[in-house]
Chain A
């Protein structure tokens, strides 16, 4: 373990109750990820890789252990404080995009800025820049239903990066895309990594997983491989 770890998981345990059965989705996991790393987490379904990602993204809470992000024990933060950490430090990209269907591409990208309480004029500027950066300017006023899969994921990435988070979490980002569009999305994410963002990708696509600098293998809630 290095002192410079950005993400530090210490004996993290997460237990789900399925009826009267207890499932240890994460079983005393300890893991350090430094700033700027490119990590892939791979493993079969039910291995706990998505749970791990949700936990790192503060969407889920451990039943035991400590999670330190940038030197702060985030497990002890209050709900609004955790929300603030999610908003400003963490970006999420999902397999199913998760765009708000009634909002336009621009409206979806604007959401985190709105939640941050940014003034409308500044928001507009930032959204325009993001649309341009992700080559979506001519799609700005289209609703998600009118966009292709690749465009939708680009909107989602634009939304995830609009507040320049230090960590980008991607859960099967190419799972709903064809090979070529998937490749484009991966290129976008890797470009973010090139510019310093810590990138953590959960996938069971071996080809995608292999692109990362560090490969973490999971099985039954435990880390079974950690190779650089």
Chain B
């Protein structure tokens, strides 16, 4: 028998048993759809977290004072002094290293911001103009800090102090010092525990004067490329060790290391979730087997007839396998579409979650459906092929 005839004959018998076929296709489709939707969710979560990290900056290397072995924050906070402070000179030296695209020293403190009778405590970042590109911040109005006594306001703070939206050029007081508003940041919201809407940014010199300190909280360094991250990290460690009289008293961390860990964890999670969804495919497979067994029983006389008019056992087996193939194929295709529609709905409901099903999930879901369908029909097909034609013809 020709393959095309086997396929069309089996399709014909499926179409004749419409309800039965549709239910099986539905069961298959739900299984495949579940795999696609759940992996879309898992992968969406992964992308979301990775995106959050990436929004901190690209190819970022962060230098902090003290050794990382000390747990519970950085030692500077506990002892009042690190063995040797990170200074602006250190930061400038780091900035001279090859493969460093840009750097931003960072000072963090709290101060009272006042203007026009309003007063509130704000988090103050002291840095240079490079902070904007390094941290991927964007300005809603005005420009970034470019000279002394300039201040950039977080979006929520600007709203609080200047509800009319005319913040640029206004004078504000921060602690005991006066600043002129240069720009306002766009709303970015929470980004890894740092709400950029609730901060103000001033030049690092002003910050050091304001907080009366020579010490830096961090140095943010952007490497020229991803591959330059490790050399830059090594070069910074080496340079600061030299500058600090041979003491290795700073910690250099790369965003990549953290990111990779999260990436790995969330990928494993996605796989786990996909595995759970695949169980529903196994259930669908058992359904296929059950329905095929019933079909063999119902069509005993027909199988006997086919044998009587000269169908070899192999042809009977192929006819039933082809039916399973059709069911699985239709179920997988429908499930694939359902899964993508479901993912689309999730993206519609939660725009922050990039719930795109990864390509492997679709392929794996469809392949699993086809495989379970075929495997589940092996037994019924073999049973049909083995039927004794004389007994089958009499309907036994």
Residues of B within 8 A of A79 (CB): 312-313
Q: Residue A225 at the B interface, CB < 8 A?
A: no
**A84 to B2, Cβ gap below 8 A?**
no
B322 to chain A, nearest CB (A): 13
A interface bracket (residues with beta carbon within 8 Å of B): 20 to 34
Q: Residue A19 at the B interface, CB < 8 A?
A: no
**B315 to A115, Cβ gap below 8 A?**
yes
Given contact pairs A86-B308, A92-B308, A115-B1, A102 touches B16 in the complex (Cβ within 8 A):
yes
Residues of A within 8 A of B5 (CB): 114, 117
Q: Residue B389 at the A interface, CB < 8 A?
A: yes
Query: Which B residue sits closest to A111, measured CB to CB?
Result: B309
**B308 to A57, Cβ gap below 8 A?**
yes
Residues of B within 8 A of A115 (CB): 1, 306, 309-311, 315
- Quick one: which of A78-93 are within 8 Å of B by CB? 79-80, 83-88, 90, 92
**B309 to A59, Cβ gap below 8 A?**
no
Residues of A within 8 A of B309 (CB): 86-87, 92, 111-112, 115, 159-160
Q: Residue B301 at the A interface, CB < 8 A?
A: yes
Q: How far is the CA of A63 from the CA of B13 in the complex (A)?
A: 36
Q: How far is the CA of A59 from the CA of B304 in the complex (A)?
A: 9
Residues of B within 8 A of A60 (CB): 389-390
**B307 to A117, Cβ gap below 8 A?**
no
Q: Residue A98 at the B interface, CB < 8 A?
A: yes
- Quick one: which of B270-321 are within 8 Å of A by CB? 301-302, 304-315
Given contact pairs A79-B312, A80-B312, A83-B312, A98 touches B393 in the complex (Cβ within 8 A):
yes
A interface SS class: helix
Interface string of B49-62 (1 = CB under 8 A from A): 00000000000000
Residues of B within 8 A of A116 (CB): 1, 310
Residues of B within 8 A of A87 (CB): 309-311
**B312 to A59, Cβ gap below 8 A?**
no
Q: Residue B9 at the A interface, CB < 8 A?
A: yes
Q: Residue B166 at the A interface, CB < 8 A?
A: no
Q: Residue A103 at the B interface, CB < 8 A?
A: yes
Interface string of B21-35 (1 = CB under 8 A from A): 000000000000000
B166 to chain A, nearest CB (A): 79
Residues of B within 8 A of A57 (CB): 308
B24 to chain A, nearest CB (A): 18
Residues of A within 8 A of B2 (CB): 114, 117
B349 to chain A, nearest CB (A): 45
Q: Residue A30 at the B interface, CB < 8 A?
A: no
Given contact pairs A98-B301, A103-B12, A114-B2, A59 touches B313 in the complex (Cβ within 8 A):
no
**A59 to B310, Cβ gap below 8 A?**
no
B interface bracket (residues with beta carbon within 8 Å of A): 20 to 34
A48 to chain B, nearest CB (A): 13
Q: How far is the CA of A116 from the CA of B16 in the complex (A)?
A: 24
Query: Which B residue sits closest to A94, measured CB to CB?
Result: B393
Query: Which B residue sits closest to A113, measured CB to CB?
Result: B5
**A100 to B393, Cβ gap below 8 A?**
no
Given contact pairs A60-B390, A114-B2, A114-B5, A102 touches B308 in the complex (Cβ within 8 A):
no
Q: Residue A137 at the B interface, CB < 8 A?
A: no
Partner of B1, one of A101, A117, A159, A160: A117
**B389 to A59, Cβ gap below 8 A?**
yes
Q: How far is the CA of A176 from the CA of B396 in the complex (A)?
A: 20
**A59 to B308, Cβ gap below 8 A?**
yes
**B310 to A83, Cβ gap below 8 A?**
yes
Partner of B305, one of A83, A85, A100, A102: A100
Residues of A within 8 A of B308 (CB): 57, 59, 86, 92, 94, 98
Q: Residue A68 at the B interface, CB < 8 A?
A: no
Residues of B within 8 A of A102 (CB): 12-13, 16
Q: How far is the CA of A25 from the CA of B99 in the complex (A)?
A: 95
- Quick one: which of A100-140 are within 8 Å of B by CB? 100-103, 111-112, 114-117
Q: Residue A181 at the B interface, CB < 8 A?
A: no
Residues of A within 8 A of B389 (CB): 59-60
Q: How far is the CA of A85 from the CA of B307 in the complex (A)?
A: 11
Q: How far is the CA of A90 from the CA of B310 in the complex (A)?
A: 9
Query: Which A residue sits closest to B315, measured CB to CB?
Result: A115
Query: Which A residue sits closest to B8, measured CB to CB?
Result: A114
**A59 to B9, Cβ gap below 8 A?**
no
Residues of A within 8 A of B13 (CB): 102
Q: How far is the CA of A60 from the CA of B304 in the complex (A)?
A: 12
Residues of A within 8 A of B312 (CB): 79-80, 83-84
**A83 to B311, Cβ gap below 8 A?**
yes
The residues of B with any CB-CB pair to A shorter than 8 Å are: 1-2, 5, 9, 12-13, 16, 301-302, 304-315, 389-390, 393
